[in-house]
Amino acid sequence: MLNISFESKLPQTEKSIFSKMSAIANEYKAINLSQGFPNFDPDFTLIELVHKYMKAGKNQYAPMAGTPELLQAIKLKIKAHRGLEIHEDQLCITAGATQAIYTAISAVVKPGDEVICIDPAYDSYKPAIITNGGQPISYGLEAPSFKIDWDKFEALMNAKTKLLILNNPHNPLGICYSKEDLTRLGQLAEKYDCLVISDEVYEHLVFDDQKHISALEIPSLKDRSFVTYSFGKTFHITGWKMGYCIASPLLMEEFKKIHQFTVFSVNTPAQLAIAEYLGMNSWKTLPAFFQQKRDLLMQYLDQSPFQVKASAGTYFQLVDYSAISQQVDTEFAMELIKSIGVATIPVSVFYDQAPKQQLLRICFAKTDELLHQAGERMISLNN
Ligand SMILES: Cc1ncc(COP(=O)(O)O)c(C=O)c1O
């Protein structure tokens, strides 16, 4: 027997619900609407571009913060999309948004610091806080409105609060925060002199002609926020693990100190390919592309016994199954795989302490064919 003694930094961590649900979905040959990634290919143009740069010998380390081509393409995209001027010293290309979030947390959270997360929360936030010695504090949102009560939120803040994490548009709730909400967040961040991570990986997945509001557009937030993005989510390339972070020069300098010694730099041919592809304004078609999928799914859900309010952003749709069953969501999700062969994610897994609500998350980043099949199965619950 090995005689090694050490204390785990993440003793509570077990296999993720996403892997568990997918394993069971495979076992029952169910339609997998649980994991948050597309089951279709990215644009072939993008794939060809990576080949082009690989064949052209662009296969060695990129500069630490990113290739000049990609930094420039991001600056132009933000100018075109939001009318904002971003400087190169505010940018760093990362291995997906997950790395950007982890790096930002590592850069600023010290042992004893408190970090407020809004539950339901994306699963990487709290382990990253704990690994860096911080204490996650959860503010739980509740159905049906999921509105933030800012007085209750403030009651969680104190001199130890170092960081607030917001995800907008929100996975799994499918909501987009208003300017008023973001302004309140900024006021509190200023009052308690703390920093913010604004996780905006679904910035282009907003529907019904809404405009996503970034922390970069809120005066009280723009200089105290790390804003994180994912090319994986934007261009259907989650497996490439490509993203970036924007922050004020002061925060970005600290961010890069960690980035330099953990990742150093990110995939060169992928950066060059994405830079060229961004220049083709490829992101502009995304809202319509995903809205069509949301609407297709909604046509079926409206005929099913699920209660639904159409998602306003992200590629996730929440469904309330309280008219079908009173089981807890983890059990009901399992039951759904076995009864109709559709895998979803129970929303309670995104909470520290889940309120009593009966909600599942469905990912609609799937081919129309698969959405039709899943939709038919969900309608069959009426029988
Ligand atoms: C809210 C949120 N943030 C971050 C990420 C991670 O993005 P990436 O795949 O670029 O690391 C995800 C992926 O599901 C997400 O849903």
* pTM greater than 0.75: yes
- Ligand 1 centroid to 97 CA: how many Å? 6
What Cα–Cα distance (Å) separates residue 126 from each residue in 146, 228, 364?
Answer: 20, 16, 26
CATH no. of 17-36+285-382: 3.90.1150.10
- Ligand 1 centroid to 379 CA: how many Å? 30
Residue 383 confidence (pLDDT): 81
First to last CA, the chain: 56
Are 165 and 194 a contacting pair, CB within 8 Å? no
Q: Which atom of ligand 1 is nearest to 100's Cα?
A: 11
Residue 38 confidence (pLDDT): 96
Q: Which atom of ligand 1 is nearest to 232's Cα?
A: 10
- Ligand 1 centroid to 329 CA: how many Å? 23
- Ligand 1 centroid to 293 CA: how many Å? 20
- Answer yes or no: is the C-beta of 122 below 6 A from any ligand 1 atom: yes
- Answer yes or no: is the C-beta of 169 below 6 A from any ligand 1 atom: no
R_g over Cα of the chain? 21
> pLDDT tens digit string along 59-73?
999 999 999 999 999
Q: Which of 181, 221, 208 is nearest to 84 (CA)?
A: 221
> Mean pLDDT across the stretch 109-133?
97
Are 57 and 84 a contacting pair, CB within 8 Å? no
Are 222 and 215 a contacting pair, CB within 8 Å? yes
- Answer yes or no: is the C-beta of 243 below 6 A from any ligand 1 atom: yes
d(CA 72, CA 59) in angstroms, rounded, equals 20
Domain boundaries, the chain: 17-36+285-382, 44-280
> Mean pLDDT across the stretch 207-231?
97
Q: Whose CA is nearest to atom 16 of ligand 1?
A: 171
- Ligand 1 centroid to 101 CA: how many Å? 9
d(CA 76, CA 70) in angstroms, rounded, equals 10
- Ligand 1 centroid to 228 CA: how many Å? 9
d(CA 181, CA 202) in angstroms, rounded, equals 18
- Answer yes or no: is the C-beta of 36 below 6 A from any ligand 1 atom: yes
Query: Which CATH number applies to 44-280: 3.50.50.60, 3.40.50.1820, 3.40.640.10, 3.10.20.600?
Result: 3.40.640.10
Q: Which amino acid is at 147?
A: K
Are 125 and 101 a contacting pair, CB within 8 Å? yes
Question: 167 pLDDT exceeds 80?
Answer: yes
Are 35 and 20 a contacting pair, CB within 8 Å? no
- For 323, other C-beta atoms within 10 Å of its C-beta total 11
- Answer yes or no: is the C-beta of 167 below 6 A from any ligand 1 atom: yes
Q: Same topology for domains 17-36+285-382 and 44-280, yes or no? A: no
> pLDDT tens digit string along 322-331?
999 999 999 9
- Answer yes or no: is the C-beta of 134 below 6 A from any ligand 1 atom: no
What Cα–Cα distance (Å) separates residue 75 from each residue in 69, 91, 111?
Answer: 10, 9, 35
Give the sheet arrangement for strand 316-320, strand by strand: 316-320, 359-363, 345-346
Q: Which of 306, 325, 326, 328 is nearest to 317 (CA)?
A: 306
- Answer yes or no: is the C-beta of 42 below 6 A from any ligand 1 atom: no
Residue 13 confidence (pLDDT): 85
Confidence of residue 3 (pLDDT cuts 50, 70, 90): confident
The per-residue pLDDT of the chain, averaged, comes to 96
